[in-house]
């Protein structure tokens, strides 16, 4: 319960994922997290769990992220300030939305480093997987 509450405390809707009527449809609004991405829903909790288990084991990890946009900002935000995990985000320079770039590059946490790379996110993945 503590993990779930702290994972979603920064969402701008008390329902976390409001369900709204749009004509005859029911639509889940998945953009109420810190980055406005559906990825905030899962990564908010994953970040808390990663931090918890690393803390419990007395370990430290570095999380490498190659992104074309919202994954990088969601991971950076969910682990920002962690004492047990550093985050390195790589994104392709001039190939991501300006809002996503600002979300990644303005995380004010010593454990988050963001790099703009030349090439594509697929090429960044190749670097990480080597």
Question: What three-state secondary structure class fits 25?
Answer: strand
List the catalytic residue out of 39, 48, 56, 93: 39
Contacts 24+ apart (CB under 8 A), 56-63: 59/84, 60/84, 60/85, 60/86, 61/85, 61/86, 62/86, 62/87, 62/88, 63/87, 63/88
CA distance 125 to 91: 10
In the block, tokens 């997290």 appear at 33
DSSP assignment letter at 12 = S
DSSP assignment letter at 118 = S
Residue 56 known to be catalytic: no
The residues annotated as belonging to the active site are 39
């Amino acid at each position: 319960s503590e993990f779930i509450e702290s994972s979603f405390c920064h969402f701008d809707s008390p329902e976390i994922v409001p369900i709204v009527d749009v004509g005859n449809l029911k639509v889940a609004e998945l953009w109420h997290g810190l980055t406005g991405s559906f990825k905030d829903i899962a990564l908010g909790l994953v970040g808390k769990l990663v931090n918890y288990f690393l803390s419990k084991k007395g370990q430290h990890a570095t999380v490498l992220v190659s992104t074309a946009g919202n994954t990088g900002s969601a991971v950076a935000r969910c682990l920002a300030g962690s004492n047990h995990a550093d985050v390195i985000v790589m994104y392709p320079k001039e190939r991501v939305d300006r809002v996503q770039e600002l979300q990644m590059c303005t995380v004010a946490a010593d454990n988050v480093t963001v790099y703009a790379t030349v090439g594509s996110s697929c090429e960044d993945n190749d670097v990480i997987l080597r």
